[in-house]
Amino acid sequence: MPALVEISDASVVREGRTILHELSLTVEEGGHTAILGPNGCGKSTLIKLLSREIYAHAGRGSYRVLGRERWTQAELRTVLGIVSAEPREPLLGDPTGLDVAISGLLGTYGVLIQHRVTPEMVERGRAALARVDALRLADQSIETMSAGETRRCWIARALVSEPRALVLDEPTTGLDFVSRARFLETMRGLLPTTTLILVTHHLDEVVPEIGRVVLMRGGRVVADGPRDDVFTHERVAEAFETRKEDVPL
C-alpha cells in the first residue's frame, strides 16, 4: 500500500530565499505524527505544500498522496483535512456552525443562498459537528463564538469530507488554558479513527497517542523517529536552539 503522504527532496523558494531545503517526509496511514519546530522553521510552508497552495521550487522534488502526484482540491479534501487557526479565505455571509461544517464539502468558508445544499450534506455537517462536541453550535453565528468553539467548527469543516488524515496547524493558538485543555481532549477523541499530522511549536500538544516526532529547524528535518527517541530534552533543545534545561518535557 502506498504511503499516505510522501514528500521527497522538495525545496521551496520565496522571494529568492529558500524556506524548505530538500525536505523529505513520509507519513503512513494509521500512525500519528507531530511535526515540531520553532517559529520560522518552515512549518507553515510545509502546510501549504501539503495543501497544494504552493509547489516545490522549479519542479524539483516530488509530493505524492497515496502514490499519486495529481489531485483536484475536492479529491484532496477526502484524504487530507487541513485545519489552520484562521480561515484561509474570507467568510461567506454570516455562517453558522453548521454552515461552516457543510462548506467543507463546497471548498468554501460558509454557504451562500446560491449553493445547493442537500439533506445529505446537512446530515454530514451535523455528524461532523457531533464528532468534535459542537452540535450545540449548529445554529449559532460563528461571529458570536469563542475562539475554542470556532476552532471546533473548523475541524468539523475538515472532517465533513471524511478524510483519511487530519492535519492540524498550530491548533491551540489564541486559546486560553481551559479551552486548550478541552481542545486537546477533543483531539485525542478523534485519534482512534483518524490519522493525525500535528504541526506545532507547543510541546504540550504532543499527546501520548502520538508515536512519531519530526523536528524541524531552518527549513530542514533535523530528527525523525519514534517519540521516545526524538522527544528528548537534548534533541528538542537543539531544534529550538535553547538550553536543554529550558525544555519543558
Condensed to tens digits (0 to 9), the pLDDT of residues 154-167 reads 999 999 999 999 99
Q: What is the pLDDT of residue 73?
A: 86
Report DSSP state, residue 213. Answer: E
CA 133 to CA 219: how far, in whole Å?
A: 36
The letter for the amino acid at 182 is R
Is 186 among the domain residues?
no
Q: What is the pLDDT of residues 7-35, one digit of tens each?
A: 999 999 888 889 999 999 999 998 999 99
**pTM of the predicted model as reported, rounded to 2 decimal places:** 0.92
Residues 48 and 170 in one domain: yes
Direct distance between the N- and C-terminal alpha carbons of the chain, in angstroms, rounded to an integer: 35
Residues 70 and 16 in one domain: yes
Domain range holding 11? 1-79+166-174+195-249
Q: How many domains does the chain have?
A: 2
Sign of CA dihedral 88, 136, 79, 206: positive
